[in-house]
Amino acid sequence: MVETLATGSPSGLGAPTSPTSPAGAVDRTGTDPAGSLAAADVAGTDPYGDDLQLALYTCYELHYRSFAGVDGAWEWDPALLGLRNQLESVFLAALRRDAVRHTDVDEALEPLLVEPVDADGISHFLRKQGELSHLRDHIAMRSAYHLKEADPHAWVIPRLSGVAKAALVAVEFDEFGGGHADRAHSQLFADLMDGLGLDSRYGHYLDRTPAAMLAVVNLMSMLGLHRSLRGALVGHFAAAEITTPPSARRIAQAMDRLGTPAACRLFYDEHIEADAVHEQVMRNDVVADLISREPEMTEDVIFGIDATDFLEEAVATEVLQAWRAGRSALREVA
């Protein structure tokens, strides 16, 4: 069971724990009792399970806004970085084994550009038959991603050059609101949460976020923090931008059907318009230029595309199973 060790920070985010989670092995003063981090054994842990994904999310969050009551020195603690490396190794090996389906960049992108007529994902469910409870479920779960939208991709900027760098910065500029804080996509998502009566505080729904969704966010963080995986992060970013406009349009239609406040649509309206342009920029300028400059990055770009699709499919499968069984897709917390 996920617990909260510390609350009351400006972000409202406490430190979650699990048997593997590093937050369970440290106290609030930043000491390491009995060397528990160095002794951690994660080799047999389910790479997609709650324990590993929450532990990895906890490690990564130290590089974002961290947790209430956690000493900032933990961000670069050697023992904690060693544990994170073990977790990443298990996760990355599983993705390289399970997710890669293509050997050519265009072949990897093609299924994302042309949606099958019988496609049946989360946004399709919401548009056709979703209730307000389903929409709130979806938004609460996606907050782990969208309240830090574009942040992990910013790490790749100093690792690119030429057209790829300039074009990616242009996309990021839009993601962060074009210089207007109230138009930043993360803020638009927070406004959407407020409009639906959800709690928009950063990290508020972490305890209820299933492992499949944490894995989607952890993929971005892992790719962003490792220079060696910069090609995969570019592939991930391209995949995300390509698939967003059609799903955003369907969710906006669901909101219209459900009669949600007009302000709730702004986040999705922005993505319908902006990401249609971003998709072209990512494919034709960022991906193409990166591969032309560093052809050895091709395999990693494909990996980023395929891993993104693989993990998002896992989320959709789990969420739709829950909804069709009459359950919430969020974790139950005692």
Residue 331 has pLDDT above 50, yes or no: yes
- pLDDT on residue 157: 98
Compute the distance between CA of residue 212 and CA of residue 48 in angstroms, rounded to an integer. 7
Q: How far apart are CA 282 and CA 110, in angstroms?
A: 14
Per DSSP (E only), the strands in 11-155 are 16-17
**Cα four-point dihedral sign 72, 77, 81, 83:** negative
pTM: 0.89
pLDDT tens for 264-319 read: 999 999 998 776 788 899 999 999 999 999 999 999 999 999 999 999 999 999 99
- The stretches of 196-297 forming alpha helices (DSSP H) are 211-225, 230-258, 266-281, 288-293
Cβ contacts of 295 within 8 Å, gap of 6 or more: none
Please give the pLDDT value at position 37.
Answer: 57
pLDDT at 26: 41
Within a 10 A sphere around the Cβ of 317, how many other Cβ atoms?
A: 13
Find residue 3's DSSP bridge partners: 17
Buried b (16+ CB within 10 A) or exposed e, 64-97: bbbbbbbeeebeebebbeebbebbbebbbebbee
Q: State whether the Cα torsion 252-254-259-260 is positive or negative.
A: negative
Q: What pLDDT score does 112 carry?
A: 85
pLDDT at 113: 83
Of residues 286 and 31, the one with the higher pLDDT is 286
pLDDT value at residue 116 = 74
User: Hey, what domains does the chain have and what are their CATH numbers?
Assistant: 3-96 (no CATH), 104-324 (1.20.910.10)
pLDDT digits (tens, 9 = 90+) for 175-224: 999 999 999 999 999 999 999 999 999 999 999 999 999 999 999 999 99
**pLDDT for the residue 89:** 96
**Angle ∠(109,115,116) on CA atoms, nearest 5:** 125
Beta strand ranges found along the chain (DSSP E): 3-4, 16-17
- Tens of pLDDT, residues 78-120: 999 999 999 999 999 999 999 999 999 999 998 888 877 678 9
| Per-residue buried b or exposed e for 8-39, using 16+ beta carbons within 10 Å of the residue's own CB | ebebebbbbbbebbbbbbbeeeeebeeeebee
pLDDT tens-digit map of 66-76 = 999 999 999 99
Q: What is the mean pLDDT of residues 141-160?
A: 97
Instruction: Tell me: pLDDT of 134 over 80.
Output: yes
Position 120: which residue type? D
What pLDDT shows up at residue 24? 46
pLDDT score of 59 more than 70: yes
Q: Stretch 228-252: mean pLDDT, rounded? A: 94
Inform me whether the pLDDT recorded for 34 exceeds 50: no
Distance separating alpha carbons of residues 23 and 11, to the nearest angstrom = 17
| In contact, 215 and 311? CB cutoff 8 Å | yes
Rounded to a whole number of angstroms, the CA Rg of the chain reads 19
Distance from C-alpha of 240 to C-alpha of 149, rounded to nearest angstrom = 11
Average pLDDT of 157-175? 97
Element (H, E) at 126: helix 122-128
Residue 149: is its pLDDT beyond 90? yes
Query: Please, what is the Cα angle at 282 between 277 and 286, to 5 degrees?
Result: 140
User: Buried b vs exposed e over 209-233: b needs ≥16 C-beta within 10 Å?
Assistant: bbbbbbbbbbbbbbbbbeeebbbbb
- Tokens found for residue 120: 């049946």
pLDDT at 144 > cutoff 90:
yes
- 9: its two tokens: 């920070």
Tens digit of each residue's pLDDT (9 = 90 or more) over 40-52: 678 889 999 999 9
Mean pLDDT is lowest, of 42-46, 95-99, 125-129, 133-137, for 42-46
Q: Which range among 36-45, 47-56, 225-234 shows the weakest confidence by mean pLDDT?
A: 36-45
218: left (phi over 0), alpha (psi -120 to 50) or beta: alpha
